[in-house]
Amino acid sequence: VKQAKQAGKPQVYEPREASAARRRFSIETELRRALDKDQLRLFYQPLIDLKTGKVSGFEALARWTHEDRGEISPNEFIPVAEESGLILQLGRWAMHKASQTLADWDSKIGQQLPLYVGVNLSAIQVARDDIAGMVSSALKSSGISGDRLTLELTESSIVQDPGRATRVFDALKALDATVAMDDFGTGYSSLAYLQRLPIDVLKIDRSFVSGMMVDPDSVAIVRAVLSLADALGMSTTAEGIETVELATTLAALGCSSGQGYYFAKPLEAEAALEYWASRNRG
Ligand code: C2E
Ligand code: MG
Ligand code: MG
Ligand code: MG
C-alpha cells in the first residue's frame, strides 16, 4: 500500500486488500455460524500400507461448503479458525466426529475394524485447550480405544512452548494414542525434539513428495527423513502420492505408508468404508 501510494495510485491496490480483509471477516462470522449449525463435514482420506497395498487408516479432513461461496478450502478457513479461536470448537467437533465415525464403521461391519483414524490438531489447541481431556471424552462417548487414534501435530505446536507440548504428547501416549508429526520438514522445530518427545510417525510433507520426480534434492530429503525415522524407531507416512511411480519409489525406499490422489481423495464416511471394503477384502 505504501509503495502504491508513493507511486500515486493507491486505488489500484487498496480495494483488493480491503476486500480480502472483508472476506476474511465474513469467513469468520460465517464459520462461527456454520459450526453452531453443524454444517461442516468431515471427510476421510485412506492411508495405504505401502508394503501390502491395504488401507491401514484414514485421515479426517474438515470440509465446508458455503451456501453462496461454494466449497471453501481448509487452507483458507483453518487459519481463520486459528486466528479467531474458533479452532477450539472446530477441533473438538472433528475429534468427536472422527471417533464416532470409526465406531459407526465398526458396528456397520459387526467387528472392530483394523483401522485407525488420524485427527489434525492445531498448535492453538495444544497451547489453549485441554487436549487430553478432549480426546478422552471423545473416546468415552464413542466407545473406541485410544490406540485407534492418531493425532497429527505440527512442529509449530512444539516451538511455542516445548514444556507444554511435552506434557500434551505424554498425555496422549498415556491414552494409548499414536502421535504423528505432520508436514514434517516444513516447520522450525529442532531435531532434538524428535529424540525428546514421544513421536511415533513422521508424515513427510507433500512438497517433498511431489518434488521427487523432478528434483533430486527432494529425493535426498525424503531419503534422509526415512533413514532418520528408521534410526529413531518411527514409522513414516508420505503425503501427496499422485502417481504409481511415486508409490513404488517410496515403497522401495522403505516408507511405511502413504496417502494421495493416486490412491484416493478424501471421501465421505460411507464411501471411505466402501473403499476399505473393496481394497482390503476383494
Ligand atoms: P494436512 O493435515 O497436511 O492434510 C493433507 C492435505 O493434503 C489435505 O488437504 C489433503 O486433501 C491433501 N492431499 C492429500 N493427498 C494429496 C494429493 O495427492 N495431491 C494433493 N494436491 N493434495 C493432497 P486439505 O484437506 O485441503 O487440508 C489442508 C490442511 O488443512 C491440512 O493439511 C490440515 O493442516 C488442515 N486441516 C484440515 N482439516 C483440519 C481439521 O479438522 N483440524 C485442523 N487443525 N486442521 C485441519
Ligand atoms: Mg494432517
Ligand atoms: Mg500433512
Ligand atoms: Mg500438509
Bigger pLDDT: 146 vs 15: 146
182 lines ligand 1 (CB under 6 A): yes
Beta carbon of 183 within 6 Å of any ligand 1 atom: yes
With the most atoms of ligand 1 within 8 angstroms of its CB, the residue from 40, 43, 78 to mutate is 78
**Pocket of ligand 1 contains residue 75 by CB under 6 Å:** yes
Query: Mutation test of ligand 1: which of 41, 61, 65 has the most ligand atoms closer than 8 Å to its C-beta?
Result: 61
Q: Are 54 and 280 spatial neighbours (Cβ–Cβ below 8 Å)?
A: yes
Q: Which atom of ligand 1 is nearest to the CA of 61?
A: 38
Q: What is the mean pLDDT of the chain?
A: 93
- Please provide residue 114's backbone torsions phi and psi, each rounded to the nearest 5 degrees: -80, 60
pLDDT band, very low/low/confident/very high, at 156 (cuts 50, 70, 90): very high
pLDDT value of position 17: 64
> What percentage of the chain carries pLDDT values higher than 90?
87
152: Cα separation from own chain's centroid: 6
User: What is the rounded average pLDDT of the residues 133-145?
Assistant: 98
| 63 vs 266: CA distance, rounded Å | 10
Find out whether the beta carbon of 74 lies less than 6 Å from any atom of ligand 1: yes
- DSSP-derived pairing of the beta strands 70-72 and 55-66: antiparallel
Report residue 13's pLDDT band, with 50, 70 and 90 as the boundaries.
low
Residue type, 46: P
pLDDT of residue 235: 98
Q: Which ligand 1 atom is the nearest neighbour of the CA of 73?
A: 26
Q: Which of 2-11, 45-54, 112-121, 142-151 has the lowest mean pLDDT?
A: 2-11
Question: Which pLDDT band holds residue 2 (cuts at 50, 70, 90)?
Answer: very low
Residues of 172-196 as b/e, b for ≥16 C-beta within 10 angstroms?
Answer: bbebebbbbbbbbbebebeeebbee
pLDDT (tens digit per residue) in 172-215:
999 999 999 999 989 888 899 999 999 999 999 999 999 999 99
- The pTM for the full model equals 0.94
CB 101 within 8 A of CB 143: no
Q: How far is the CA of 107 from the centre of ligand 1 (A)?
A: 27
**DSSP assignment of 143-159:** ---GGGEEEEE-THHHH
**Residue 126 clears pLDDT 90, i.e. is over it:** yes
- Residue 30: CB within 6 Å of ligand 1? no
Judge if the beta carbon of residue 63 lies within 6 A of ligand 1: no
Q: For residue 18, what pLDDT is reported?
A: 77
Residue 7 has pLDDT above 60, yes or no: no
pLDDT grade for 1, boundaries at 50, 70 and 90: very low
* Nearest-atom index, ligand 1, CA of 261: 18
260 lines ligand 1 (CB under 6 A): yes
Grid cell digits, residue 254: 522403505
pLDDT of residue 14: 57
**Whether pLDDT at 147 is above 90:** yes
Q: How far is the CA of 44 from the centre of ligand 1 (A)?
A: 10
Ligand nearest to the CA of 150: 2
Whether the complex's predicted ipTM is more than 0.95 is answered with yes
What number of residues does the chain have? 282
pLDDT at 4: 44
